[in-house]
Amino acid sequence: MTLSLPLAGGPVERPLTIAEITATAREVLETAVPPVWVVGEVSGLKKYPSGHWYFTLKDAEAQLRCVMWRSDASRAQGAPEDGLQVFARGALTVNAKRGEMQFVVRELLPTAEGGFYAALFERARKNLEKDGLLDPARKRPLPPFPRAVGVVTSPEGAAWRDVVAVVGRRWPLTELVLVGARVQGEDAPADLCRALALADRLETLDVLIVGRGGGSKEDLWAFNDERVARAVAAARVPVISAVGHETDGSLTDLVADVRAATPSAAAEKAVPDRGELLRRLDALQGTLRSAAARRLALVGERLRHVATRMARSCERLVEGGDARLRDARLRMAGACERSLAARLAAMGQLAGKLDALSPLKVLERGYAVARDAAGRVLRRTSDFTPGLAFRLRVVDGEVRARTEGSS
Amino acid sequence: MSGPSLQEDLARLDAIVRALEANDLDLDRALALFEEGVERLRTARERLASAELRLRQLREAADGSVRVDDLTG
């Protein structure tokens, strides 16, 4: 190593200035020690209005003055707290003005045990817990049939595309509303808060998905921001948190009403499945049919019973008696018969309806459906005009028929 | 947007089935309920079949109001 020292190679001719000797020291340090990682505990961190951070890293035996310039500090995920054990990557130099050796930190990382991120996360989690925002009783159920589903995520990200694909397949009966937000980088937390507040203003929204696809822990950090978590907790409608990660939960996961592992999984939770609902309708149709069929059988039984008794009493009515009462009795008997006929017609109508759903099941029980030449179901006695040709559908086929007599 | 109507259809169908199963209705009422049930099933199926997903984007306009625009794709 060759150094361009003012005193190199000869006797001291004059005293060096302080600037000269510190410049020499600086050159020695910067040349001799390449950028390195160090490990230590953060102490006395000061953030200057200029954006630069000054702090000390120390361990049991020594301490090192550190500076982190604004450009590097702004990339860090918030300032580390005093006492936090960190890894710092940087290079040694000399601060001439202070006459100090200084470590210029370019990057800070949490140490393996606990560490920087864990410390931040835990601090925010405790704050939320203190305010009752992690209480399971706060969790709201999702609406079964949302009118509109809001999605707070990046317009360019995979999350939006995934949600569109899943909802389009399962439940195209809803409206998907994108609320674009930056999900990564320094301004992501503020932007996510803005988007969440904006979503709150759309009244038709019934549920909200907040998230992004996978990424490194640093990429997903916005979803561990306490401000974002509070905005999720404050949302007017239930929120599904969908931050793509495999193991650790994010802070938004903890405050959201429902947590999903991925945006696709969130979409599945947000809307029902069309196929499933169609199967439910099939089941309902079956139940409806059998309930009506039971009802019909019961009424049929009762009517047959009544008809038998009525026929007997009508016979007794018209037998004998004097001539003055005969007409009245005949009219009464006629009324009885018409009433009975109306009940039978109503029954026939129900049978016809059942036939529309499951012809054979009903026809098997001995019921028939009458239709005219145009295929219209003949429901009432008034439909059967004298001489009308019609067809009777019975269980194994059709029978041609014609109404007798004249009115 | 026909989700809420479907929800109504389903709730009504459940109520109709319960009423029919209770067996304490007169025949006319049972018939009316059955007809309504068949109709509700038909409309519910139609709603399910005809729907097409709508994509929209929510933005804040320059004047601070909320704007919802249609998105394509």
What ipTM was predicted for this assembly?
Answer: 0.84
Please state the domain extents for chain B. 3-70
pLDDT tens by residue, A142-158: 999 999 999 999 999 99
Among candidates B3, B53, B68 on the partner chain, residue whose Cβ is nearest the Cβ of A145: B3
Over 70: is that where the pLDDT of A197 sits?
yes
**What phi and psi, each to the nearest 5 degrees, are found at residue A15?**
-70, 145
Q: What is the dihedral of CA A211, A212, A215, A218, to 10 degrees?
A: -50
Nearest Cβ partner for A173 among B10, B27, B47: B47
Q: Tell whether the model's pLDDT for residue B73 goes beyond 60.
A: no
Q: Output the pLDDT for position A10.
A: 54
Say what the pLDDT of residue A118 is: 72
Looking at per-residue confidence, does A357 or A277 come out higher? A277
Q: Residue A288 and residue B47: Cβ atoms within 8 Å?
A: no
- B11 close to A (CB below 8 A): no
In order, the DSSP letters of A277-324 are HHHHHHHHHHHHHHHHHHHHHHHHHHHHHHHHHHHHHHHHHHSSS-HH
- Residues A234-248 as b/e (b if ≥16 CB within 10 A, e otherwise) read ebebbbbbbbbbeee
Q: Is pLDDT above 70 for A275?
A: yes
- Express each pLDDT in B13-57 by its tens digit: 989 888 887 767 677 787 788 888 888 888 888 888 877 889 999
- Residue-wise pLDDT for A290-321, tens only, equals 887 777 777 777 777 777 776 676 666 666 55
- Tell whether A353 lies on the interface with B, counting CB pairs under 8 A: yes
| Residue B12 predicted with pLDDT over 60 | yes
Do B71 and A178 touch, CB atoms closer than 8 A?
Answer: yes
pLDDT at A270: 96
